Amino acid sequence: MTYISKDTLWKGIIEDLFDDFLYYFFPEWTAQTVDFSKAFQFLDKELDEIYPKPEGNQKRYADKLVRVFTKQDNEQWILIHIEVQGYQDPDFAERMFIYFTRIRERFGQDLLTLALLSDENPDFHPRAYYYQYQSTRIEYHFATFKLLEKSEAELEKPENPFSVVMQTARQALIKGNQRDERQLIWKRDLVRNLREAHYSDDKIRKLLNFIRYYVRFKKAKSLQVLDETIQTTFQQRKNMGIEEAILQEVEERGLQQGLQQGLQQGLQQGVQQGLQQGLQQGVQQGLQQGVQQGALQTKIAGIRKALAQGKLSLEEIAELFEVSLDFVKAVQEGKHPQK
């Protein structure tokens, strides 16, 4: 059963729904300040250079650094630093301060910071970093949003898709809701509520991916039941899973290309045989080859897209597309594996 880390899910959904994210946490500032005519710029590479990711078995962080243009003249822009913290860390406030100083040193721009605390400890809520030695003193405050402290009513913001993200994460903090039986109840409720929302198909698909994978089912059958609910609710013939989200832009094109090539090969084979039976057999074989070829091309294209996005490790991509690690490496190297 496919496993996607929460770190990956948070980074992906914040990037995919960043306009809704801004309106959710900073509604007045966003409406007055943000210039949505200019694209957001996600500075993941720069953030990694500023604060390298932990190695080995150390815990990972879900963080984002985004360049946002404002409505001021001369294409003025500011930076937004987001940190999603899912566990208690005694050094968290100091880390936030280090981020602040390094980002300011590198870019020299105004910086808006938010710590989204998604942990299970009600006593963990760092809001500031303090340092003092003799007469030297530092005090750094940053905005926080403690998920555990919010009620369902407080998390609900009509017409904002990011409220579904927050409701999903809040439900997952309740111990009983992590069992498969309870998960199915609240996840199916969220899916059905999405059906009534006036969100774009693209945003609904991304929200469904977040709902499906944010808490992992212990039984594959439970995920199957949820997928059936999704398909029934949205009248989809295919799964609405994360694989479709990755493949949506290439699936139809790749399959059609494979079918056309296979059909042409089949017709040629049938004509060469010179018999009606041979023609029918050739067409049938060609169609089958075309479907297989189209599926392979679609899978390779999806892997390339996942590699380009850089949100999943090679191992996660291999598990997601049900191929070997060597297959993924071959695609990464520009080769065209056949199986």
Tens digit of each residue's pLDDT, the chain (339 residues): 566 788 889 999 999 999 999 999 999 999 999 999 999 999 989 988 887 666 555 555 678 999 999 998 777 999 999 999 999 999 999 999 999 999 999 999 999 999 999 999 999 999 999 999 999 999 999 999 999 999 989 999 988 999 999 999 999 888 777 888 888 899 988 888 888 888 888 899 899 989 988 888 888 888 888 888 888 888 753 444 445 544 554 444 454 455 455 546 655 665 455 445 554 555 456 545 654 665 677 778 778 877 887 767 787 777 777 788 888 888 888 876 765
Q: What is the pLDDT of residue 217?
A: 86
Would you tell me how many other CB atoms lie within 10 Å of the CB of residue 230? Answer: 24
Q: What is the pLDDT of residue 277?
A: 57
- Ramachandran category for residue 110: left, alpha or beta (phi over 0 → left; psi -120 to 50 → alpha): beta
Answer yes or no: pTM beyond 0.75.
no
Residue 72, token pair as written in the block: 């001021």
Q: What is the pLDDT of residue 317?
A: 78
Contact assessment for residue 289 and residue 266, using Cβ atoms and an 8 Å cutoff: yes
Is the C-alpha dihedral spanning 102, 32, 16, 333 positive or negative?
Answer: negative
SS3 55: coil
Q: What is the pLDDT of residue 238?
A: 45
Q: What is the pLDDT of residue 54?
A: 62
What is the signed CA dihedral for 236, 238, 290, 331, rounded to 10 degrees?
A: 130
Helix (H) or strand (E) holding 67: strand 62-69
* 146-174: b (≥16 Cβ within 10 Å) or e: bbbeeeeeebebeebbbbbbbbbbbbbee
Residue partners of 206: CB distance under 8 A and separation at least 6: 12, 13, 16, 17, 245
Q: What is the pLDDT of residue 279?
A: 45
